[in-house]
Structure 1
């Protein structure tokens, strides 16, 4: 009940701060209170006045995610307010919103550059948009690749580099597809996934088989390796973390899996002459 009361306060405050002129409506006659009327909010959100009124009053009405999205746009909610609205109305986070997620914030890049381990940033369809020098040295240089060739899911699934051990490759692919399916279910932009899904269906029978399976994963952790020119390998544990400022981005970190790998990674850092890494 307390959450319903908070929802009522939040919606009243949100519409109260918007002047009719802000949304292209005439000011009309003198208004008793500042802001939009309920019927104006309902019209802007494309919903009935009755449903919006009941929703604002905290009655037990259920709005779809699409209706809540429209309501958030009508009320000009900030990203954090949109998330708050979904939490109060549906007790869950909102679908991932489309933001300028190809741009890596300077603070995120500075963090990656300060790390003594490889780190990269992907967006919701797994396209790589940021990385540090150790990624370039140990995995691949993304800089010369156009955006459409920097999709990490495509690279991992289709590159011959990862197929030397068929059993290991199949297990990796199973985990990848299960996580990719989870991300696809949560996106507010399915079209950014569907072209890749169509491509993968044509290119990979294993993808087709795994895509039809029921397995999903809400997180992805695994072990991978990088082979140095001298034939030595560095084994890594990797995991990912959401970047709070940009919900569509994830930071992937690669930590040495054992002491020998940690020593080899430190040697690579020294060869790259990165002072803070080689210290």
Structure 2
């Protein structure tokens, strides 16, 4: 296939333009051909020589996103070349290269505080970094929690608060893991997710079950119910949005699903003020 032939030419060219000293290897003896050897590229990228050789030859082998990222770094690809590599190898753009931005812009916080619905902001590993007063009233107060205890994925999957209805909890768990897998596939920093995955494998039977499934969920919107003593149950429809100009941040909004929930949320907001 043409794209596989182009992938082979591209990788050979990228390998040929690098010398051992470019990647921290000794110069060694004089080489018959210019550039790095295949086994050197494979070792630097953490791949088997056979797997890399097949990939460079254009065979129908599939590399994971982290492996392609490591290969791109090994070959010193620039942003355009990285995008080209992903297009040839996976027929899609590469994951967004983001630095986790944990600074909430004043205008963003002001907007959240002005809303009459709960709103919070998470970064790509699902850590909550910002919220408005209604989140504190309807869900939980994140202020006293250190950063490592504000991971929304772990809170939802591990807290006893969500286990009162086993069927609902299982449905939520499958949905959360499917979305978490999608985020994991797109991150440029898989090591952050790897640590969470390792922890969840130890602590959650449901996570281990869901992680073996192939389901993914590329968007986040669903209905959830907040149990509010003194106010009544509030059904929320929640969805998430990227925060423009703040790489890695995602705004999650919780809108009342029906008139009864809207009335109860209005009462909750009045009590909060």
Question: TM-score, normalising length from structure 2?
Answer: 0.69
Work out the CA distance in 1 between the residues paired with 2:149 and 2:196.
11
Work out the CA distance in 2 between the residues paired with 1:207 and 1:127.
18
Deviations 1:12-33, CA, capped at 9 Å, x for gaps: xxxxxxxxxxxxxxxxxxxxxx
Equivalent residue for 2:103? 103
Matches within 5 A, 1:153-168: 153-168=153-168
Work out the CA distance in 1 between the residues paired with 2:232 and 2:108.
31
Q: Tell me, yes or no, if structure 1 residue 204 matches structure 2 residue 201.
A: no
Q: Is contact 2:231-2:267 (8 Å) kept?
A: no
Work out the CA distance in 1 between the residues paired with 2:18 and 2:216.
39
Q: 1:199 to 1:236 in 2, by over 3 A?
A: same
Q: 1:231 to 1:264 in 2, by over 3 A?
A: closer
Q: Is contact 2:100-2:247 (8 Å) kept?
A: no
Matches within 5 A, 1:136-175: 136-175=136-175
Equivalent residue for 1:261? 261
Work out the CA distance in 2 between the residues paired with 1:235 and 1:171.
16
Work out the CA distance in 2 between the residues paired with 1:184 and 1:247.
16
Work out the CA distance in 2 between the residues paired with 1:213 and 1:108.
37
Number of equivalent positions: 212
Higher mean displacement: 102-111 or 172-181: 102-111
Q: Tell me, yes or no, if structure 1 residue 86 matches structure 2 residue 83.
A: yes
Work out the CA distance in 2 between the residues paired with 1:112 and 1:87.
38
Work out the CA distance in 1 between the residues paired with 2:216 and 2:100.
27
Work out the CA distance in 1 between the residues paired with 2:204 and 2:175.
15
Q: 1:93 to 1:103 in 2, by over 3 A?
A: farther
Q: Is contact 1:221-1:237 (8 Å) kept?
A: yes
Work out the CA distance in 2 between the residues paired with 1:88 and 1:105.
34
Other structure's SS at 1:177 match:
helix
Q: 1:83 to 1:104 in 2, by over 3 A?
A: farther
Equivalent residue for 1:115? 115
The runs of 5 or more residues in structure 1 that have no matched partner are 1-38, 49-61, 73-81, 274-279
Equivalent residue for 1:242? 242
Equivalent residue for 1:223? 223
Work out the CA distance in 1 between the residues paired with 2:135 and 2:237.
14
Equivalent residue for 1:36? none
Question: TM-score, normalising length from structure 1?
Answer: 0.68
Q: 1:177 to 1:100 in 2, by over 3 A?
A: closer
